């Protein structure tokens, strides 16, 4: 389970976030490309845009559920 205390500062404020357990597997970026991107210097993914449509919400939830190390959380600000 992702830990809000270990969330990357690159994440935009809001419900979804990625914490420091991310292994840069690319699953979230493939599943929800409108919401997740990569920090090339750090080698991890983060939420650069919170979902703004029902479709994006479904994609973010799918990315969270599919994350192999459970590095995606949905208990961020405005959850």
The whole-model pTM stands at 0.93
**59: domain range?**
4-73
Query: CATH number for the domain including 66?
Result: 3.30.70.20
- 50 part of a folded domain: yes
DSSP 3-state assignment of 68? Answer: coil
Statement: residue 65 has pLDDT above 80: yes
- 13 part of a folded domain: yes
- 17 part of a folded domain: yes
- 79 part of a folded domain: no
Measuring CA to CA, which residue among 26, 38, 34 is closest to residue 67? 26
- 78 part of a folded domain: no
Instruction: Give the total number of structural domains in the chain.
Output: 1
- 39 part of a folded domain: yes
**pLDDT tens digits, 8-57:** 999 999 999 999 999 999 999 999 999 999 999 999 999 999 999 999 99
Q: Residue written as tokens 């990357």?
A: 8
């Amino acid at each position: 389970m992702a830990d809000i205390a270990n969330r990357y500062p690159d994440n935009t404020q809001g419900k979804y976030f990625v914490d420091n357990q991310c292994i840069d597997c690319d699953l979230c970026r493939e599943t929800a490309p409108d919401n997740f991107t990569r920090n090339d210097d750090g080698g991890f993914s983060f939420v650069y845009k919170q979902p703004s449509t029902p479709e994006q919400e479904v994609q973010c939830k799918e990315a969270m559920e599919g994350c192999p190390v459970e590095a995606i959380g949905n208990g961020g600000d405005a959850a």
